[in-house]
Structure 1
Amino acid sequence: MTPLLESTIEGLFLGAVQTLWDGRAPSAIAKVRATGRREIGPTGFIDDAQADLAVHGGADKAIHHYAFDHYASWIGESAVPPETSAGAFGENISTVGMTEDTLCIGDILQLGTAVVQISQGRQPCWKLNMHTGNRQMAFLFQTTGRTGWYYRVLETGSAGVGDSITLIERPEPKWSVKFVTDARLKRTVNKDDAGHLAELSVLADGWRKAFAKMATGNRQEDTRTRLEG
């Protein structure tokens, strides 16, 4: 059977919890390039870490995938220095040819020998600002929709650079990652779509709850702590 969409893992990045900035909470955003095959458990790569499990990691945010396709835009817009390379945004997986426009919430993919499912887009936070040295970076991620996306792990396995990542099932073709992430972060979704997304079983629970509020007309959300720290 011809794959629905296929790419190759160009970069794999894993990190440890570190104190990176004086007077700030620790973080594992500073991922480093990993070689060889790495095991994927129920909550992501077992050699990867998250500092604050209340907002990072867990079953619905097990692996972060970011499209290398976006780096040229960030560099062209002077949001990051010209020498910026893959892994600069704290992602685990870097590929070319898969973006928020070409993938949907609920998509199931073969990642090396593991099977994963797209659960939500990324909600950027102040740590991205600190890590990139651009105080507006989290806001720019949010406004452009170039956030990347998270996977939950359906079947454990392993993956490494050079492995294929292949879309094998698309249960929810209506809801692209770009549309749903924009709807969540910009809160401009209409009540009908918000109601449908609140009931979308493949969407991360936290996002479903947010859309349930929007479906009632409540679009209020204080994002200052997340975006500014």
Structure 2
Amino acid sequence: MTILTSITALYTGRPQARWEGKPPSAIGKTPVAGPLMLGFEGLEGDEQADRTVHGGPEKALHHYPADHYAAWAEVWPEHAATFVAGGFGENVSTTGVTEADLCLGDRLRLGEALVEICQGRQPCWKLSAHTGIGEMAVRLQKSGRTGWYYRVIEPGRVAAGDAVALAERRHPDWPLSRIIAARFDPRLDPATAAAIAALPELSQSWRKSFLKKTDPAFAEDTSARLSGT
């Protein structure tokens, strides 16, 4: 195994009513030193408000590189206090490893647990509401700096300070940055979409999305997800 970095912090949260007239959310998370048990559906003490789109075995853990926050603070310096580790509702924060350094299907050892990268984050309106920046979800999607989700292969205890080690790389030709860019490309080549959909480690929800993109006539409507209307 190759040690890539270490866990700076872990974050968990519970659903709260945050915005009048809107459903509750668990995007507001707090740091937990651990160790915490990481099971097949996530960290102990972490919950999701809407299980139809958040959580579950293929979104058990969200990892966001703290490396990206400086760039966001340059765009919106008036919101600099928001752009700190944990600010986007992630479960895992690190520095030194981003979407460009990892590939779909990579298996990583986080403390005692073994996890597998299965998709990027698909931001929604709750991120905009959480940060107080109306275009945050749209800008995050366009940037490709979305972070990623893990499925858990082997449960185990995880704590801040634990090493993040690459245990296995199955698809070196499919860096996560390429997969994420393809997911949100409205003009994606159908052949590329088909190739990505065939990757066995891809989450089922993203597989369905890429299969739709194999149809040249398909046009995705993301307005409800990004705006919440």
TM over 0.5, yes or no? yes
Task: Identify the residue that residue 169 of structure 2 maps to in structure 1.
Answer: 170
Partner of 1:88: 87
Question: Partner of 2:79: helix, strand, or coil?
Answer: coil
Aligned to 1:75: 73
Q: Structure 2 residue aligned with 1:33, among 31, 34, 38?
A: 31
Q: Secondary structure at the match of 1:152?
A: strand
Partner of 1:138: 137
Structure 2 residues without counterparts, runs of 5 or longer: none
TM alignment of 1:109-188, pairs within 5 A: 109-188=108-187
| Structure 2 residue 226 is the aligned partner of structure 1 residue 224 | no
Amino acid at match of 2:136: M
CA RMSD of aligned residues (A): 1.2
SS in structure 2 opposite 1:219? Answer: coil
Is the CA contact 2:10–2:34 (under 8 Å) kept in the aligned structure 1? Answer: no
Give the AA of the match of 1:157: G
Instruction: Using structure 1 for the length normalisation, give the TM-score.
Output: 0.96
Q: 1:218 to 1:176 in 2, by over 3 A?
A: farther
Residue range with higher mean Cα deviation, 106-115 or 35-44: 35-44
**CA distance in 2 between partners of 1:73 and 1:213 (Å):** 33
Does the alignment pair 1:193 with 2:192? yes
Describe the SS at the equivalent of 2:141. helix
Structure 2 counterpart of 1:154, which letter? I
Aligned match of 1:18 in 6, 12, 16? 16
Change (3 A) 1:119 1:79: farther
**TM-score computed with the length of structure 2 as normaliser:** 0.96
Runs of 4+ in 1 over 2 A off after TM superposition: 186-189
Distance in 2 (CA, whole Å) between partners of 1:80 and 1:204 is 36
Structure 1 stretch displaced more, 164-173 or 117-126: 164-173
Query: What is the identity percentage for the equivalent residue pairs of Structure 1 and Structure 2?
Result: 46
Q: Name the CA distance, whole Å, in 2 between partners of 1:203 and 1:166.
A: 20
Partners of 1:174 and 1:208 lie apart in 2 by 18
**Residue pair 1:142, 1:186 contacting (<8 A) in 2 also:** no
Aligned partners of 2:109, 2:217: CA distance in 1, in Å?
37
> What's the counterpart of residue 60 of structure 1?
58
**Equivalent residue of 1:39, what SS?**
strand
Query: Does the 8 Å contact 2:105/2:170 carry over to 1?
Result: yes
Q: Which amino acid aligns with 1:190?
A: D
- Residue 189 of structure 1 and its aligned partner are, at CA, apart by 2.2
- After superposition, the C-alpha distances for 1:75-120 in whole angstroms (9 at most, x for unaligned) are 0111762223210100000000110111111000001100000010
Question: Which residue of the partner structure matches residue 48 of structure 2?
Answer: 50
Q: For the residues of structure 1 that align with 2:157 and 2:16, how far apart are their CA atoms? A: 25
Instruction: Report the secondary structure of 1:186's partner residue.
Output: coil
Residue 148 of structure 2 aligns with an amino acid whose one-letter code is W
| C-alpha deviation, 1:193, in angstroms | 1.1
Q: What secondary structure sits across from 1:101 in the alignment?
A: helix
Structure 1: gaps (5+ residues): none
Alpha-carbon distance between aligned partners in 2 of 1:46 and 1:90, rounded to the nearest angstrom: 16
Decide which moves more: 190-199 or 59-68: 190-199
Question: Which moves more between the two structures, 206-215 or 97-106?
Answer: 206-215
How big is the shift at 1:72?
0.5
